[in-house]
Amino acid sequence: MTKPEIKDGSIFFTDSITESSTNLEKDFFRSLEYWQVKDKTTVKERDAYFAISTAIRHKLIKNWLRTQSEYRRNKAKRVYYLSMEFLMGRVLGNTLINLGSYNEASDIIERLGYKLEELRDLEPDMGLGNGGLGRLAACFLDSMATIGIPAYGYGIRYEYGIFKQGIQNGYQVEVPDNWLKYGCPWEICRPELEYRVKFGGKVITEKREDGTDRYKWVDTEDVIALAYDVPIPGYKNSTVNNLRLWQARSTNEFDFHYFNSGDYMAAVNDKNVSENISKVLYPNDNMHEGKILRLKQQYFFVSATLQDIIKHYKKNHGKTFDDFADKVAIQLNDTHPSIAIPELMRILIDDEGIEWNTAWEITKKTFAYTNHTVLPEAVEKWDVEIMGPLLPRQLQIIYEINRRFVNEARDFKGFDMRRIKDVSIFEESGHKFVRMANLAIIGSHSVNGVSALHTEILKNDIFRDFHELFPGKINNKTNGITPRRWLKKANPFLAGIITAKIGDAWVKDLYELKKLEPLANDPAFHKIWNDAKSCAKEQLKVYVKKEMGFDINVDMMFDVQVKRMHEYKRQLLNVLHAITLYNRIKKNPSGDFVPRTKIFGGKAAPGYYVSKQIIKLINSVSKIVNNDPEVNKLLNVFFFPNYSVSMAEKVIPASELSEQISTAGFEASGTGNMKFMLNGALTVGTLDGANVEMLEEVGNDNIFIFGLKAAEVKDMKLSGYNPRAIYESDAELKEVLDLIRTDHFNKDEPGIFSHLFNDLVTYGDNYMLLADYRSYVNTQDKVDEVYRKRSEWTRMSILNTARSGKFSSDRTIREYVEDIWGVKPVNVNFE
């Protein structure tokens, strides 16, 4: 990097400010000098990154303050989006695009001798999330600000993200994700905004003057929740909403008694124990202590959030709660924040003196719940022996909610004991557990799935009895993605040619992409479309070489599966296809094969042994395939470590084939599938999650669908699925699996994959890989046929982008607004 030019002998940045300098340029130079304390001889790249980020944040401040003032002036109903995760990625690029300041910032940075794209790469992904649930929350924040919805996100300011994923000898290793190492220029600490959060203690009963019981939660161990705010700007409007994150602090920072007696560790013990609550995203809950910490995290952010919401409500609408549900909409992003239901009841009854029935009506009208899973093991439940000592009053309230609900189900709905057992908040199987999904359903006025198929599974299977009890409560809101980040920012090559042809209205109305359809058969447009894809592939090649040391061949088809590692997502099925291709090439090296690069990426939970073994298998296959001169000109396999939002923004635009191959009936929706579709990748997938609706939008001729449907998966399991019979009868499959069984890819570590083989062949193949193998491989052969016909492939690619309008998070948010929240946009355009 070149050093800034020193003119007129001055080393000070503020001496470069002239009458013609823009406000952003002035603020940038002042930030370098007054905030970063640098001159032209000492400035570094990271200083420039912090300075431009600080200058941009300053540009947001007035509209940030004005937006909140306008919401108060309008006495607007507000949406509060509660989520344990916000997978924000990097903030700088998206903020510049939403403000329309990208080119101006780039010019300022270049005059300093740097490149904006390189400074953006210095920014760490915010370590506030892990998977699709968190990324959805981030897309929703962007859409709510763009539409002008009075909305606030609430979560935890984790000091460490889930982990940084490294690969050693093919195995995943986890190292701390210290994303706050250099600080975060986007957040503003609010030291004046603290709330006390209680744990433990006991509940005592006192008599009120009218003879009724009053419950008091006493002798508690308290923690302070400190607020940090992050601005969320809408796209080219004046709305700036707020993401508020809570950090845990001790009520007793330092104990002089212990310190003076020489016990220095004990002197700071309270501080360390308290601050563990916001230390790391998703502590390992395979152990008892991890479970306690996880529940503490959930209650910590819920308690602080409700105190904050009620403070705002009283300030703007008075001290009575008569209008609370008309002014407050709280959306629970999965069950993690559902402890908010008994907590609001506690506040209304114990602190505000409201009688039960009134409090319950307010609570139900306030909350709505989004379900994100149909996996039984992922449906959250808490042992009462953990919840009771930690949250004694909340558990009392849950017992009373359940007692009244069970009586209603039995007396007014005629439910027998078997069905009552299914819908009860409490599961009694040895230990007694609190089923948080049941609590969320009972305590909310709306329960939504996140794709049409997922919602039908909720209604007809998982929550069938609740659907009968509360007809109409379960509804669908198919997920979406923000086109600002996932096309305009992530893929400027493609975004540019689209805008040149149809204008830029698509950025706020994704259905505008329909205007591309007439161009799907235009040879001239095919050329520039393919040029955009080539540019993205070249960009990925440079990035991968720099960050990972891999050499990827841009002349191969990029066949990509990047997502959280889980057995139901079936990365292992993709590996079986890779080995199938390997075998075919070895048998006929001069055969007519379509050259492919298979790209995998995703993190496995630290305690998830099988998923970590699949990562090891991918890397073992990669080592053999990529070093075999007979094979590597036709097939490469790579595992990209530490997959993240920022990596996705480079991988997805370069992808040509998107692998969405989960077992039908297991994926709630998916949003990665939508991102690939928007960027012109073709999908090979099952009829699972939102793939079903993608098929409806793009048409059967423009997507590669294979495998069993959800109902067929269920029927096959019930009728006695026999994977060994498939293994014995399909010679090609048997050859593939036998290579795994006989340690072909792991000669130095014999037997390490025997568990994977046995899971598939001997122990039931729970996710039906062998049942779908033949259909999958045959469909991949069809993919090759179409890829050879470049014009046909390009036509399908264009139509995928053109017909992706439904999958904008703007559309999803409008449906929440109209059907669930009942809020109205507020116009805060001040210019």
Task: Check residue 383 and report its DSSP letter.
Answer: E
372 in active site: yes
Please pick, among 489, 563, 566, 803, the residue that the annotation labels catalytic.
563
Beta-strand ranges (E) seen in 283-361 are 328-333
Note the pLDDT tens digit of each residue in 533-542.
Answer: 999 999 999 9
Catalytic residue among 671, 686, 779, 801: 671
pLDDT at 336 exceeding the cut of 50? yes
Mean pLDDT of the chain: 94
Is the dihedral angle over the CA atoms 373, 375, 376, 380 positive or is it negative?
Answer: negative
pLDDT at 723: 98
Is 744 tagged catalytic? no
Tell me what pLDDT residue 162 has. 86
Residue 341, pLDDT score? 98
Q: Under the phi-then-psi rule, with left for phi > 0, alpha for psi from -120 to 50, and beta for the rest, what region is 22? A: beta
Q: What is the pLDDT of residue 5?
A: 59
pLDDT confidence band for 116 (50 / 70 / 90): very high
Q: What is the pLDDT of residue 377?
A: 72
Share of the chain above pLDDT 70, in %: 96
Tell whether the model's pLDDT for residue 262 goes beyond 60.
no
User: Which of the following is catalytic: 77, 327, 459, 569?
Assistant: 569
For residue 171, the one-letter residue type is: Y
The reported pLDDT for the residue numbered 264 is 43
Please tell me the total number of residues recorded for the chain in this structure.
831
Query: Which candidate in 59, 508, 564, 650 is catalytic?
Result: 564
Q: What is the pLDDT of residue 259?
A: 47
Catalytic residue among 77, 294, 296, 372: 372
Q: Other C-beta atoms within 10 Å of 622: how many?
A: 21
Catalytic residue, candidates 526, 577, 675, 795: 675
Mean pLDDT (whole number) for 767-790: 98
268 or 577, greater pLDDT: 577
Distance from C-alpha of 228 to C-alpha of 152, rounded to nearest angstrom: 13
What's the pLDDT tens digit per position in 65-76? 999 999 999 999
* Annotation marks residue 675 as catalytic: yes
Specify whether 563 is catalytic.
yes
Would you say residue 285 has pLDDT above 80?
A: no
Q: For position 258, what pLDDT does the model report? A: 46
pLDDT at 256: 46
* pLDDT (0 to 100) of residue 21: 87
Which residue(s) pair with 592 in the sheet? none
Q: 186-204, pLDDT tens digit by residue?
A: 999 999 999 999 999 999 9
Which residues have a Cβ under 8 Å from the Cβ of 85 and sit 6 or more positions away? 128, 129, 130, 131, 133, 134, 137, 155, 281, 333
Q: Is 366 an active-site residue?
A: no
Residue 255 has pLDDT above 70, yes or no: no
For 99, counting Cβ atoms within 10 Å of its Cβ (0-12 exposed, 13-18 middle, 19+ buried), the class is buried
Q: Express each pLDDT in 576-601 by its tens digit.
A: 999 999 999 999 999 999 999 999 99
Q: Map tokens 């990426």 to a residue.
A: 601
pLDDT confidence tier of residue 6, bands split at 50, 70 and 90: low
pLDDT digits (tens, 9 = 90+) for 21-78: 899 999 999 999 999 999 888 999 999 999 999 999 999 999 999 999 999 999 999 9
- How many angstroms separate the CA atoms of 138 and 132, rounded? 10
> What is the per-residue pLDDT for 379?
83
Closest CA to 337 of 362, 308, 371: 371
Is 671 tagged catalytic?
Answer: yes
What pLDDT, on the 0 to 100 scale, is given for residue 268?
45
The per-residue pLDDT for range 483-496, each reduced to its tens digit, is 999 999 999 999 99
Non-local (6+) Cβ contacts of 318 within 8 A are none
Please, are residues 476 and 777 in contact by the beta-carbon 8 Å criterion? no
User: What SS3 string covers 600-619?
Assistant: EECCCCCCCHHHHHHHHHHH
Mean pLDDT of 89-100: 95
Phi and psi angles of residue 76, each rounded to the nearest 5 degrees, phi first: -70, 145
Neighbour-count burial for 132-170, b at 16+ CB within 10 Å, e otherwise: bbbbbbbbbbbbbbbbbbbbbbbbbbbbbbbbbbebeeb
The structure's pTM equals 0.95
User: Residue 254 — very low, low, confident or very high, per pLDDT cuts 50/70/90?
Assistant: very low
**Quick check: 267 pLDDT over 50?**
no
Q: Is the pLDDT of residue 266 over 70?
A: no
